[in-house]
Structure 1
Amino acid sequence: MKVIFLDIDGVLNSNFWNDTHQREISDGTLIDEEKVMLLGQLIRNTSAKVILHSGWKFWFDSEVKPLRREAERLISMLEKEGIKVNGVTPDHTTEEIRKSKKFSLVKASEILAWVSQYDNIEKWIVIDDLDLHNEEIRKHQILTDASIGLTVENICEAERLLL
C-alpha cells in the first residue's frame, strides 16, 4: 500500500488568501480546485491512499464522516476528483497545542504512530507546508510553499517518491 499523509492549509489552499479571506478559509470555501486536481492526478498515477494529518481531521468522526460544513465541502471537492480520504492520523495533541494551533509539534509522532500500525506499507509521503521537526519525516516530506500551495513540481517529486 502507498500512502499520502495530507495536510490541507498551505497545500490545497495558500497564504495568498489568508489575510483578506480569513472567514472563507475557516469555512472551507477557499480550497483551491486546481490544487485538488493536482492531488487527483497524483493519486491516479500512484494509486496511493489518503490519510488526513491536518488540523482539519478534527472536523471528521472516527469513520471519516464530516462533522462540519467545511469538512463536507472538502470531501465534496475531493470526490469530484475521485479522491477518498481513507483515514486520519491519531490525535497526540494537548489542550495547549489545540488552543495555540501548533499542530506541527505533534504531526510527526502522529504520522509515525500510524505507519507503525501497518506492515503492508510499501511507500509513504507527507505533503505539508510546515517543518515537522523530524528527520524520518523529512525523508518522506513534500514541503509545499504556503504562499502558493501544491504545485506541479511538488506532484513530480511526490511521484518520484511513491513510484
Structure 2
Amino acid sequence: MRIIFLDIDGVLNNVEYYKTKSLDSHHIESSHFDNNNINALNKILESTGAKIVISSAWRMLKTLEEISTLFNKVGLNAEIIGFTESLHYKDTYELAPRGLEILKWIKDHHRTLKEGLKNYVIIDDENDILDIQDKHFFQINDLVGLTDEDADAIITFLRSYTIPKQELP
C-alpha cells in the first residue's frame, strides 16, 4: 500500500488563495480549500492508488468522519485511513516533531496494512521531519500550495520506489 501523510494548511490552501477570499467566507469550512490544490492531490491519488493518513493539526479539531465528509464536499476523492497521533515530550509537554509522529504511525501500522507498506510520502509545507524521512518528504510552497509539478514528482516517487524491509521499524 502507498500512503500519503498529509498536511492541509499550506498544501490544500495557500497564501495567494486566501488573498482572493472575502473575510465573510472564512467561516465556511469548504472555502479553506483551493481547487487547484485539490486537483493536484486528486491527480496523485488517481495515479497511485495511495491512501491518506492525516498528519495536519486538523486531526485535533475534527474526527476522521468529519474530515472525510469535508474532503468529499470539496471534490477530493480520497480514502482516509487514519490520523497520526499527537506526541508531546513528557517533561515539557512541547510537541514532538511531526516526523516522529509519522514514524510512530508507520511502526504501529505497517504490518497490518493490506499488502504491507510499499511506499509513503510526507506532503507538508513545514520541514518538521526526521533525517531518515528526507527522501519521502515533499515540501510544498505555502504561497501556492500543492501544484501539478509537485504532483508529478510525488507520483514518480511513489511509483518508482519500494521500501526495503530493513528500512521499516
| Shorter-normalised TM range | 0.7 to 0.9
Q: Which letter maps to 1:113?
A: K
Question: 1:37-48 alignment to 2 at 5 Å?
Answer: 37-48=39-50
Q: List runs of 5+ in structure 2 lacking aligned partners.
A: 160-169
Distance 1:11 1:47 in 2: 19
5 and 133 in structure 1: CA distance in 2 versus 1, 3 angstrom threshold: closer
Q: Which letter maps to 1:88?
A: F
Q: Which residue matches 1:153?
A: 149
Q: Which residue matches 1:124?
A: 120
Same amino acid, percent of matched pairs: 23
- Deviation of the 1:74 alpha carbon: 3.8
Q: How many residues matched?
A: 150
12 and 2 in structure 1: CA distance in 2 versus 1, 3 angstrom threshold: same
Question: Higher Cα Rg: structure 1 or 2?
Answer: 2
Distance 1:25 1:137 in 2: 34
Distance 2:35 2:102 in 1: 26
Distance 1:107 1:47 in 2: 24
Q: Which residue matches 1:73?
A: 70
112 and 27 in structure 1: CA distance in 2 versus 1, 3 angstrom threshold: farther
43 and 133 in structure 1: CA distance in 2 versus 1, 3 angstrom threshold: closer
Q: Which residue matches 1:8?
A: 8
157 and 53 in structure 1: CA distance in 2 versus 1, 3 angstrom threshold: same
Q: Which residue matches 1:107?
A: 98
Taking structure 2 as the reference length, the TM-score comes to 0.77
Distance 1:75 1:19 in 2: 24
1:97-128 Cα distance to aligned partner (Å, 9 max, x none): 5xxxxx6x521111010111213101000000
Coordinate RMSD, CA, aligned: 2.6
- Deviation of the 1:27 alpha carbon: 4.9
Question: 1:56-67 alignment to 2 at 5 Å?
Answer: 56-61=58-63, 64-66=64-66
Q: List runs of 5+ in structure 1 lacking aligned partners.
A: 98-102
